[in-house]
Amino acid sequence: MRMKKTMLLVSSSPSTSVGLRSYLTHIFGRYIKLEARLADDVTSELMEQFDLVLFASKGAARALETSMTPKIHFLICIRTFNFTYLNKILSIPPNSDVYLVNDSEQTTKSAIRLLSTYGFSQYHFVPYYPGCGEADYSIQYAVTLGEERYVPRHIPNVMDIGVRVADVSTIAEIASFFNLSMSIADVVTQNYLNQFVQLLKMSNYQVRQTTNMNFITQSIIHNIDIGVCMVNKEHVIIMVNNPFVKELEIQKPHLVGVSILEAVPEFEEILKKHQEPESLTTEIIRHESKKVMVTLQKIRDANHEDLTLIHLGRRMIREDSAEDNGLQIRDGVLNPEQKTETWYQFRDYRSENTQVLRMLEMAKRISLTDYRVLIQGETGTGKEVLAQAIHNNSSRCRNAFVKVNLSAMSELQAAKELDTAEENSAARHAQGGTLYLDGIHNLTQDLQRVTLGLLDSPFNVRLIASTDQNLYEMSREGLFLRELFYRMNEVSLATLPVRERPEDVPLLFEYFMRNIYNTPSLTWRELFSDGLWEFLMGYCWPGNGKEIENLCKYFYCVKSDRKLTERDLPPYILSQIRENEEHLSPLERQVLIALSQNPKKGRAALLRIVREQGVDVTEGKIRRLLQDLSDRGLVRTNRTKGGCEITGKGETFL
C-alpha cells in the first residue's frame, strides 16, 4: 500500500490551527496525512520530515524564517473571508462603535486592518477578545469571525461573517504540488466563484444605489489576494482587479471595455480551448519566462448573459531558488524592453469633436511615414497617447518606444539619455524604433545642439517630440534654436483643450468612471445631480483630460448615500466657485443655513425661523432675498406649495 504524502500546517494561534486543519482535512484527508503544530513548537528537523509545509500566515512563516533550509518545500496560505457575508456589516448604521470579536488580540486587530483595507471606514471598530477587559455597555453592535461565544452578552446585534479559510488558489496549489487531480478543488472553486459572482451582482446593484456601498464592494474586489477578470462572449473586459493587472504586468491603463486579447495576447489560445468545457485550468507564459496558472470558469449573470471569469493562481515556491526560500517581498521591476512597451492605439484617443477627429486622421497618415513629429498642446490633452499611437501604427511598431521625460531630468541626466555613445542611453534603446522627447522646450541651448547632432547621426531612430509651450515663439525670441525647431517640425499636430470641445466631457467622464467603478454600462446620470452636471459642463478644465480622470477618482472616494452634488467637489474647485461668486451677507448665509436644515419651507416659515434667531426682517425683504439667491443659482423656488430649497451650488457656501 502506498504511503500517504505528508503536510505540516504551522499556525501562530490554537484556534487558527484547529479551524484550518479541520477545513483542509475535509478536502485532502483521503490523500494527504496532515499534522498541525504551533510555530513555537516547530524546528528545522521537524519541517524536513514533511513533503510540504503550509504556513497559516506570513507571521507564522516569519517566526521560522531562520529555521528554513533548502530541503523544505513550503507555501504561505492565503486566507479569505466569505465575501458575501461582508454585506451583513453594511446593515450597521454608519459612525457606530462596533466590537470586532475574535479569539486573540493579534487576530482581532488583523481582522480590523483587513476590513479597513476593504473600505469599511464608516465604523469605529473596537477590538474585543478574551482578557481584553470589561465590556462597554454603550456599544450595541458586534462583528465576529465565527467566535460568537466571546461576544459580550449585552449586545443585541451580532453579525457573524465566518472564520477565514484557505482560499481557492491555495487549495489548487496544494493539489498541484502533490500531483492530485484538480477536481479535488472543484467544490472549493465553485463556492469561491459563486461568492465572487454574488459580489459582482451586489456591486452592479450598489453603484446605482449609493457610492459608499459600491466603494466598499470595489475595495473588496481590488484587495482580495487573487487576480480576477471578467470578460463577455466577445472577450471584452467588463471587470478586472488590481492583482490581476499586477501579476500579469499589464501596462495598458483603463482596461474596462478593452479586449482581453489586446491586454494579454497570450490568452488567445487558451480562450479557444475554453469554448467547450465549463472550466479550464492551465498555464500561460508572460514575457517569454513568467509562468502563471489561470483558471477560466463559464458563468451566467442575472441577465442570462454568458461570461467568463478568469482567476490567477500563484507560482509555487520551491527549493531551487535560494532567493525564493527567503521571505523577502519585493516589488517587480520591469526590464528595459518591458519599460518601453506601448499600449495606446488611435482608438484610445477619445473624442466626438470634428476638429479632433480630423487631427486623428492626420495623425494616422503621419504614422505611415517616417517623418519627425512635433506635438503641441496643453497638459493633459493626450500628447503621449498620440505619440504611442503613431508608433504602434507605424512600421517601427515591433521595435522599442522610449520616452524621455525632459521636464523631470537634470541637464546631466538628459545629456546621457541623448548620447548615442552611452550603452544604456534612451537613444541606444530606441534604435530601430521611436524616441519620444516629452517636454522638448526644457532643453538647454547646449542640449538643443546635442539633439541636432542626434538628427545628423546615422542612428536609425524616429523622433517624436511634445511641448505645452509655443515653440515657434520661443524660436523667434531666441529661447529655442530655430534650426532645431524647423528640423524637428517636419510634421506637426496640435491637441485641443477640453474647454474647446465640450461635447467630449460626457464621453471622458463615462470612460473614466466605468473603469474606476468596474461597471461598463455606467452613465453620469446615475452618479451626478443635474446641478453638478451643469457645473461640470460649464467648467473650464485647465487640467484637461487628466483633470477629469483625477476628479473621477476623487468622486469615487467620496462617501455618499445619494447622487453627488456641487458640495462634493474637491476643495480647489470649491474655492474657485466662491471666488467667482459675490460674497454672502450675514442674512443670506442665515437663510441658506435655514433652508439646508429645513428644506422646502415657504417664505412664511422661513421668516419665522429667521426671526426666532433674533433677526428683525420683513416678509418683503425675505421675498427679494430669495429671488436674488434664486437668480444666482443658490436656491430653488418650487411651484405651488413646494417651498424653497438650497441647491448644490448653494451648499458649497456653507
Q: Count the neighbouring beta carbons within 10 Å of the beta carbon of residue 511.
A: 20
Highest-scoring range by mean pLDDT, 47-51, 89-93, 119-123, 559-563: 47-51
What's the sign of the alpha-carbon dihedral 608, 610, 612, 615? Answer: negative
- Quick: pLDDT tens for 155-171: 999 999 877 788 777 88
Q: Tell me the average pLDDT across 122-126.
A: 88
For 346-496, the fitting CATH number among 3.40.50.720, 3.40.50.300, 1.10.10.410, 3.40.50.1360 is: 3.40.50.300
Write the CB contacts of 28 (distance below 8 Å, at least 6 apart in sequence). Answer: 7, 34, 174, 175, 180, 184
Report DSSP letters for 381-413, one per residue: S-HHHHHHHHHHTSTTTTS-EEEEEGGG--HHH
Residue 6 clears pLDDT 90, i.e. is over it: yes
- Quick: pLDDT tens for 169-185: 788 788 888 888 766 65
What pLDDT, on the 0 to 100 scale, is given for residue 274?
A: 75
Task: Decide: 205 and 214 in contact? Cβ < 8 Å.
Answer: no
Query: Looking at the DSSP assignment, which residues form a beta bridge with residue 279?
Result: 297
Query: With bands split at pLDDT 50, 70 and 90, how would you rate the model's confidence at 2?
Result: low
Give phi and psi for 139, each to the nearest 5.
-85, 125
What's the sign of the alpha-carbon dihedral 532, 534, 537, 541? Answer: negative
What pLDDT, on the 0 to 100 scale, is given for residue 612?
A: 81
Q: Tell me the average pLDDT across 628-646.
A: 80
What pLDDT, on the 0 to 100 scale, is given for residue 373?
A: 97
CA 168/CA 174 separation, integer angstroms? 10
Q: In percent, how much of the chain has pLDDT > 90?
A: 41
Predicted model pTM: 0.67
What pLDDT, on the 0 to 100 scale, is given for residue 193?
A: 56
CATH number of 500-579: 1.10.8.60
Secondary structure of residue 85 in the 3-state scheme: helix
- Quick: pLDDT tens for 302-360: 667 788 888 886 443 333 332 333 333 223 222 333 344 567 889 889 999 999 999 99
What is the topology classification, in CATH, of domain 581-652? Answer: Arc Repressor Mutant, subunit A (1.10.10)
CA 388/CA 395 separation, integer angstroms? 13
- Quick: pLDDT tens for 197-238: 665 655 555 444 555 556 666 776 776 667 888 899 899 998
Q: For residue 365, which amino acid is it?
A: R
Architecture, CATH, for domain 6-78+170-180: 3-Layer(aba) Sandwich (3.40)
Across 2-11, 88-97, 396-405, 440-449, least confident range = 88-97
Q: Tell me the average pLDDT across 59-76.
A: 91
Secondary structure of residue 468 in the 3-state scheme: coil
346-496 shares the fold of 6-78+170-180: yes
- Quick: pLDDT tens for 14-26: 777 888 898 899 8
CA 532/CA 633 separation, integer angstroms? 12
What pLDDT, on the 0 to 100 scale, is given for residue 197?
A: 61
Half-sphere exposure of 122 (CA within 13 A, CB side): 16
Q: Tell me the average pLDDT across 587-604.
A: 82
Spacing of C-alpha 177 from chain mean position: 32
Query: With bands split at pLDDT 50, 70 and 90, how would you rate the model's confidence at 273?
Result: confident
CA 94/CA 643 separation, integer angstroms? 30
Any idea of the CA torsion for 613, 616, 621, 626, to the nearest 10 degrees? -10
Domain ranges of the chain: 6-78+170-180, 83-162, 227-313, 346-496, 500-579, 581-652
Q: Count the neighbouring beta carbons within 10 Å of the beta carbon of residue 23.
A: 17
Residue that is written with C-alpha cell 503536510 in the block: 7
CA 287/CA 556 separation, integer angstroms? 33
CATH superfamily of this structure's domain 227-313? PAS domain (3.30.450.20)
Pairing type for strands 52-55 and 491-494 reads unpaired
What pLDDT, on the 0 to 100 scale, is given for residue 206?
A: 47
Distances (CA, A) of 327 to 62, 148, 310: 7, 35, 28
What pLDDT, on the 0 to 100 scale, is given for residue 320?
A: 34
CA 433/CA 221 separation, integer angstroms? 38
Query: With bands split at pLDDT 50, 70 and 90, how would you rate the model's confidence at 403?
Result: very high
What pLDDT, on the 0 to 100 scale, is given for residue 327?
A: 34
Q: For residue 502, which amino acid is it?
A: P
Q: Tell me the average pLDDT across 79-88.
A: 72
Q: Tell me the average pLDDT across 567-588.
A: 83
Q: Is 6 exposed, middle or buried (0-12, 13-18, 19+ CB in 10 A)?
A: middle
Cell numbers linked to 90? 453594511
Q: Count the neighbouring beta carbons within 10 Å of the beta carbon of residue 276.
A: 8
Task: Give the chain's mean pLDDT.
Answer: 84
What pLDDT, on the 0 to 100 scale, is given for residue 303?
A: 67
Cell numbers linked to 295? 483558471
- Quick: pLDDT tens for 528-539: 988 899 899 999
Tell which wins on pLDDT, 390 or 170. Answer: 390
Q: Tell me the average pLDDT across 36-40.
A: 94
Highest-scoring range by mean pLDDT, 180-184, 190-194, 371-375: 371-375
Q: How many residues does the chain have?
A: 654
